[in-house]
């Protein structure tokens, strides 16, 4: 099995560059923000960070394809980098520090491209998480200053902490009643939002989380961090990986129960 360590080192270099660019404009009074056709915001920092990452990838990995949230797909081939320059743009533009750059390397396999490297860098929180296939998941300041992380061993919903983003998407999909039933069964619920609950599942401080509507760039990096930490990451249909347009992540022990509630229809 390839160890992907060179790719992981490159992903950290990319994240370092993106962190510098995004932090430079975080809370800037003259930050320029536009509304995309899907009615979500995009800032000049989103675009600058993705352009920066793409430029470095084109020099360091010219044969690899790239998929980014802001500028689409470039190139073809069995290896594809997947980039979300700022996951949590709404937080970013309001000065809330819960946002991150997500960088993943995926490889073509049965059923699509599968993450083999992932870095989630949240510079305003002073946190970074990463994983490579077969190598485990870690958090820390750098590859040389890292702590291995693992999901929790909580096996009962009554003892579980449940992280999510908002209620509106569940209601739009007719899943709100099941979602609310789940919140009544667990020990604690918190709407941390975006990348963060997945990272807390990976490090064992949250036990389950889910979102009803996501894109590949929202999930590719978080999925491998969760699974390499010993957790389970699927779509709401139970299909493994970041391909379902939505996500459910858990410590594995609670996954069937999580899906059971979120798939209830009334």
Is 7 labelled a binding residue? no
Rounded (5°) CA angle 103-31-47: 30
Tokens 């929180």, residue located:
125
Is 159 labelled a binding residue? no
13 in Cβ contact with 56 (< 8 Å) = yes
Overall residue count recorded for the chain in this entry: 266
Is 87 labelled a binding residue? yes
Is 66 labelled a binding residue? no
Q: Tell me the C-alpha distance between 111 and 125, whole Å.
A: 35
In sequence order, which ranges of 64-195 are alpha helices (DSSP H)? 89-94, 168-172, 176-185
Q: Tell me the C-alpha distance between 170 and 102, whole Å.
A: 24
Is 84 labelled a binding residue? yes
- Residues flagged as binding site for Mg(2+): 69, 84, 86-87, 218
Residue numbers belonging to the annotated binding site: 69, 84, 86-87, 218
């Amino acid at each position: 099995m390839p160890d992907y360590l060179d790719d992981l080192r490159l992903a950290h270099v990319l994240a370092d560059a993106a962190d510098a660019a995004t932090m430079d404009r975080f809370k800037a009074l003259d930050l320029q923000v536009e509304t995309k056709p899907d009615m979500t915001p995009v800032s000049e920092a989103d675009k600058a960070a993705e352009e920066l990452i793409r430029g470095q990838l084109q020099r360091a990995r010219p044969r690899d394809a790239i998929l980014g949230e802001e500028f689409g797909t470039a190139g073809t081939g069995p290896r594809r980098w997947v980039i979300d320059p700022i996951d949590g743009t709404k937080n970013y533009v309001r000065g809330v520090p819960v946002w991150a750059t997500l960088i993943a390397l995926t490889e073509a396999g049965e059923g699509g491209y599968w993450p083999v490297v992932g870095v989630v860098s949240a510079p305003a929180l002073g946190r970074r998480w990463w994983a490579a296939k077969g190598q485990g998941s870690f958090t820390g300041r750098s590859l040389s200053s890292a702590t291995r992380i693992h999901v929790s061993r909580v096996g009962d919903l009554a003892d579980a902490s449940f992280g999510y983003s908002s209620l509106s998407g569940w209601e739009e999909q007719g899943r709100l009643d099941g979602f609310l039933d789940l919140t009544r069964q667990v020990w604690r619920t918190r709407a941390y939002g975006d990348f963060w609950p997945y990272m807390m599942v990976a490090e064992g401080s949250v036990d389950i989380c889910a979102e009803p509507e996501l894109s590949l760039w929202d999930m590719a990096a978080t999925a491998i961090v969760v699974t390499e930490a010993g957790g389970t990451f699927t779509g709401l249909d139970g299909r493994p990986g970041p391909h379902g347009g939505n996500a459910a992540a858990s410590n594995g022990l609670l996954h069937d129960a999580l899906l059971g509630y979120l798939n209830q229809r009334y």
